[in-house]
Amino acid sequence: MVVAWKFGTADDLDAFLIALVVPFVITNVIASSFNAALIPTYIRVREQSGIKAAQKLFSGAIAWSLGLLGITTVLMLATAPLYLPKMAAGFSAEKLDLTYKLLCAIAPIILLTGMMTIWGAVLNAGEQFALVAVAPIITPLITMLFLFGINSWGVFSLAFGLVCGQLLEMLVVGIVLSRQGISLLPKWYGFDTHLSEVAGQYAPMIAGAFLMCSSGLVDQSMAAMLPSGSVASLNYGNRIISLAITITSTALSTAVIPYFSKMVAREDWTTLRHTLKQYLGLIFAFSIPLTGLIILFSEPIVQILLQRGSFTANDTHLVAQIQACYAFQIPFYIASILVVRLISAMRYNQILMWGSGGNLIVNVSLNYLFMQWLGVPGIALSTSGVYLFSFSFLFCVAIQKIKQTERNFQL
């Protein structure tokens, strides 16, 4: 709301959002994938081999992830002059230069967010969810302080607010974790049995996450080819949808992955299958009415929340269309996240890689098709189509794998 009031759909905001795409992809590909690969093994090691063995795994994982994140950050900045002109093909030279400067300012969030993600995952693995859930409020609060307090910085207030907020979030989670007796210091023990197991799951998961996140990169890049303000409008249209799916899917997946991991470790397939069906039923019962309400009242929602200051009535009409197209994804996105967590707990992460490859192909194809028909809203509608495909594929494969594993166990 504050960003809409301050910037509307100005070129500066387009530049900021394109600059944010690559760090966002790196963080999700490296840190979030590492988190999903680490936690099932961490929980099993903690339960079967004790706290000391789990700490050794955690310390080695931190050292490994810091190295990956640091190297990737350097490569991102060094190669930016090569990929930014292709990502933002519709930008002027001045707008492209601003994008590069914003990318440099945002770059530290890769390390900060990466550590925050892994530390928070270990807290969640101990079934302590509240702090990790509440900590992200720090970043928007700090960003608003920058926006209100330092007008002369312009769009760089967003970049510096993001970096400072992520730093504070990381410190808060780190302090709580250290008070529980868990060492946060990276220490490399080499690829022992447990870390090798994580690496084996991480390889296909990082490929799958890259393919999945590249869909967002493709969407932003294709929006940058359209008239000025298209990137900003696309992001505004996804704000309310992101709020709905993040609240539900983050809470659901965070709470459910430790239990999925325990059921898999105990080979309790009957309870696992029952839990999956029960949660999916609840997801669709809740999300389908929510989707209908958002589509029906899309324009009044945008008008009430965003239309003020630099955000005009014309912006409202376009963003409302985009928001309605994005809304169709809600049931399938939330359901997909649940199934992804189950597949990760079963350590079949190569399935996610193939599913993400299919998602990327569907996304590019539908983008080209729907952009010709609807313009920027077509990109949003394409995203909804991607999540419909993703859920259908992952659910069918997950059910097949549960039945196959159960038969093998009985034999």
User: Which two structure tokens, joined as six digits, stand for 228?
Assistant: 């000025």
Chain centroid offset of residue 76 CA: 19
Mean pLDDT by 10 residues, the chain (411 residues): 86 89 82 69 74 77 82 92 85 89 92 82 68 81 86 86 91 81 74 70 65 73 83 90 80 68 74 81 89 94 91 92 94 87 74 78 89 89 91 88 72 55
pLDDT at 281: 87
Contact 195, 65 (CB under 8 A): no
How far is it between the farthest Cα atoms of the chain?
A: 70
Angle in degrees, CA 335, 261, 275, rounded to 5: 45
Measured CA to CA, the distance from residue 14 to residue 88 in angstroms comes to: 10
- The pLDDT of residue 356 is 75
| pLDDT for res 35 | 67
- Burial class from Cβ neighbours inside 10 Å (0-12, 13-18, 19+) for residue 160 reads middle
Apex 48 CA angle, 45 and 51, nearest 5? 60
Q: Contact 370/284 with Cβ under 8 angstroms?
A: no
Give the C-alpha separation, 106 to 161, whole Å.
Answer: 10
Indicate the burial class of 404 (C-beta count within 10 angstroms; 0-12, 13-18, 19 or more).
exposed
Rounded to an integer, what distance in angstroms lies between the CA atom of residue 308 and that of residue 121? 38
Q: For residues 355 and 205, what is the distance between their CA atoms, to the nearest angstrom?
A: 11
Terminal C-alpha separation, the chain: 58
How high is the pLDDT of residue 200? 67
Count the neighbouring beta carbons within 10 Å of the beta carbon of residue 394.
Answer: 25
User: Do 350 and 340 meet the contact criterion of CB atoms below 8 Å apart?
Assistant: no
What token pair was written down for 408? Answer: 């093998």
Residue 63 vs residues 118, 190, 204: alpha-carbon distances, Å: 11, 10, 20
What is the H or E stretch that residue 103 is in? helix 93-106
Cα angle, residue 249 at apex, residues 270 and 114 outer, rounded to 5°: 110
pTM: 0.72
Distance CA 189, CA 91 (A): 47
Distance CA 247, CA 303 (A): 22
* Secondary structure of residue 200 in the 3-state scheme: helix
| Cβ atoms of 326 and 241 closer than 8 Å | yes
Round to whole Å and give the CA distance between 274 and 257: 15
Q: Where are the domains of the chain?
A: 2-410
Structure tokens at 236: 């505004």
Contacts of 310 (CB under 8 A, 6+ apart): 4, 5, 6, 7, 8, 9, 10
* Among the listed residues 40, 121, 22, 126, the one whose alpha carbon sits nearest the alpha carbon of residue 78: 22
Give the C-alpha distances (Å, rounded to integers) separating 136 from 119, 237, 262.
14, 21, 27
* CB-CB contact of 30 with 76 (8 Å): no
